[in-house]
Structure 1
């Protein structure tokens, strides 16, 4: 009993610190994602779907190299047991050397990657956009130090400043006919500006060195972590490659990219902010007792699922009016894909949480095996789905593989790592039932106002969200919130 009470106190104390970091992370993501949304609207009405397709191929390459650029040194820094000043010189050298070597490999192999994706004209864009890792490789340890100390406010300001530069450059270049290069140049400039600010804000001594003992510890943790995250990124972006290789038309890749970007609104908004506190948070809990870690998982999982389910329901049911209203008739082909990728959005968040738990616990090899097992099933599912139903089939294949393979495998590795999952299940029942009812209500109201996209979004979307909140949030909590609100007003 004492150990359980101690675990609850540890979780509560760490939760306050992590809550501050999460708040800043969410604020920063909200501002940058809102800006990215406006930017995407401008570019979608300035550029062609084919331009988005070329950029999608370059983005898939960049997403992969970004995930493995530093051999997992950034994750190792967040989880490091000891003083950062002692390991930072070695970690910085390892990170920059690995990023430089990886960039050299991708410079040489960019033509083959573009050809494999069915978009050979993407080669120079790939080479330009992947140059981001040269900046990230040198600043990764500094970014990890800010995250480890829950100083997301400094990181948020750095990212915001970089995004302003990105937005101005991208729009100017797009208007002047730069096509997919407008994305690449803008993002590279953002990386440089953000990197400079992070380097100064981290307040770590500017020293380089190579301690073999420190390097060995970092690599033992980091390499499996990089392998797991790299596989995760490949699997997440495999849809672009399969669509390009089978359909051989960058326009279809552009439709798929748009739907994928829309399904990434919420993971992009809260996913990275959550990851920036869960990895160091679960790492600290794992240092105490298994009960503390399991208690943290029991509290975190229902909160994460409850926050994302209502958005996924509305996005899936109202995919067509959402695409039509936001991007216009030319992009209507993306709606059928979005309907399924909205479901995938929920699974992505749960899988990401599982990876963070295992990484925080130090079991990085499990993350690699988990994603490898998922990939063995995912790739055939994507190929079969694309052949049968085009880009819609690609999305369906991704959902099927994730639901029936990735989630069970993740649960197995968490159980093997000593995380008790049974106490988590009761907290999931209420939001799942509420989501089912909300989906039915949203679909019913949508039929009443069909053919009017704005009304569908306003009326059907609002009805679904209201029903979800009414059913998912316990009455006692609603009364408590109402009481607090009345006290503030009084």
Structure 2
């Protein structure tokens, strides 16, 4: 167990470094491109991106997860995965390109055809990815993945900004995607050599695990992306630009800080699936730690959304503030049960995940349509909040079913976190209402800095005080204190 914990810690450190750099690059890219481009440009490309992700998920064979779950995949398994992905990429690229003129006609914008052609190229490139890369995650080795992720993002950011400065066109967003994907494919074969050989020898074996996971991912992606297609069609490209940029910024702090841990959970849970009690303890510890990190970041992002948008992107993006405030909070709350996905995959309960995602889709879609009809973009935001709360409850019940962990115990592990976030919110609210809203950049930056530092001190101080009052029980506070102690000891030895 100690060896596994150490490997998880090292893996999380590499992923943390990777996601930290990617996060900063992504934030830089968003701010610069938002200054140079119009909300309509973001909305136009968001339509293509949404259709790209939906088509990709509908046809995703989930071969990476199947290879992680396989006890001992050999060269023939990787060749089979590469062959299936390449064939899929070719077919999808052709279909996407053929749909370009029809899509442009449907949305009444001839530019959509060229957007579709560009994403057809992206689909083809995606099919050429090195399938051996997933073994890095299976063995909890992440430094090579660090190189891939950072290189891909850096190339995309540089190319996107250069194109935006020269042309001031939506093509900057597309060029960023294509450049990043080309670099990712090239480097994946450089850091992990692999000479693919076409074969379908193990297609049925890999598919037997991934079929339900593929269907689940298909429903899940449609569930989370169809709102963008509806907004683009019925509310317009500008509203879609506000919605997509606001949504991306809202989840950034939560996603980027918790991903280093959550990416290690599937392979880690897979190694513990034969020991129910250890798996139950590992899940509860991981879930509590993720929420303890994500919840204050999500709520904090919501509290500083308005001055942050004004300072970084300008007044023309103020309508995105409402999206950031609502989505940042609800996405953070959903982490209370979000680790059910790696847990279900580790236990082979992919059919159960599919059933869950189908149920949530049937709940979420009608709510979004009704919200859009009743109150436009604001109605969509409320539908996202309500459906997010419902999905959190569904996830808690599913965890109880999978590992016999009562819902009250799942929530009890987060009570100190909930209380500390309330104190933090009150402190940040007080700071924000102490500033005169001049809209000037120096005042905005000072307000953001004071709000963030006050919130951090209030959250950490309250969390530690409640932990000490409770008698230093097991929980995320002990995990963090232990990690800090080990890091201090290593520094002292060095």
| Count of matched residue pairs | 475
Q: How far apart, in 1, do the equivalents of 2:359 and 2:51 lie?
A: 22
Partner of 2:452: 461
Of 116, 125, 141, the residue aligned with 2:115 is: 125
Deviates more, 1:33-42 or 1:417-426: 417-426
Shift of 1:138: 2.6
Unaligned runs of 5+ in 1: 1-8
Q: How far apart, in 1, do the equivalents of 2:198 and 2:418 lie?
A: 51
Partner of 2:182: 192
Q: Is 1:246 aligned to residue 237 of structure 2?
A: no
Query: Taking structure 1 as the reference length, what is the TM-score of the superposition?
Result: 0.89
Q: How far apart, in 2, do the equivalents of 1:395 and 1:114 lie?
A: 27
Change (3 A) 1:320 1:252: same
Partner of 1:215: 203
Change (3 A) 1:155 1:48: same
Q: Which residues of 2 match residues 241-280 of structure 1 at below 5 A?
A: 241-247=229-235, 249-280=236-267
Change (3 A) 1:307 1:113: farther
Shift of 1:282: 1.5
Partner of 2:475: none
Partner of 2:356: 370
Q: Which residues of 2 match residues 319-468 of structure 1 at below 5 A?
A: 319-350=305-336, 352-404=338-390, 406-422=391-407, 423-451=409-437, 452-468=443-459
Q: How far apart, in 1, do the equivalents of 2:124 and 2:404 lie?
A: 37
Cα pair 2:37 2:168 within 8 Å, conserved: no
Change (3 A) 1:364 1:241: same
Partner of 1:3: none
Partner of 1:5: none
Cα pair 2:423 2:458 within 8 Å, conserved: yes
Query: Secondary structure of 2:367's match?
Result: helix
Deviates more, 1:257-266 or 1:134-143: 134-143
Q: How far apart, in 2, do the equivalents of 1:217 and 1:15 lie?
A: 31
Q: Which residues of 2 match residues 4-23 of structure 1 at below 5 A?
A: 9=1, 12-23=2-13
Shift of 1:471: 1.7
Partner of 1:6: none
Of 224, 243, 246, the residue aligned with 1:236 is: 224
Unaligned runs of 5+ in 2: 438-442, 473-477
Change (3 A) 1:157 1:435: same
Shift of 1:203: 4.1
Shift of 1:410: 2.1
Q: Is 1:151 aligned to residue 141 of structure 2?
A: yes
Partner of 1:4: none
Residues 350-374 of structure 1, C-alpha deviation per residue, up to 9 Å, x if partnerless?
5542212111221111222111111
Change (3 A) 1:325 1:193: same
Q: Which residues of 2 match residues 67-78 of structure 1 at below 5 A?
A: 67-78=57-68
Change (3 A) 1:231 1:281: same
Cα pair 1:56 1:253 within 8 Å, conserved: yes
Shift of 1:443: 1.4
Q: Is 1:470 aligned to residue 458 of structure 2?
A: no
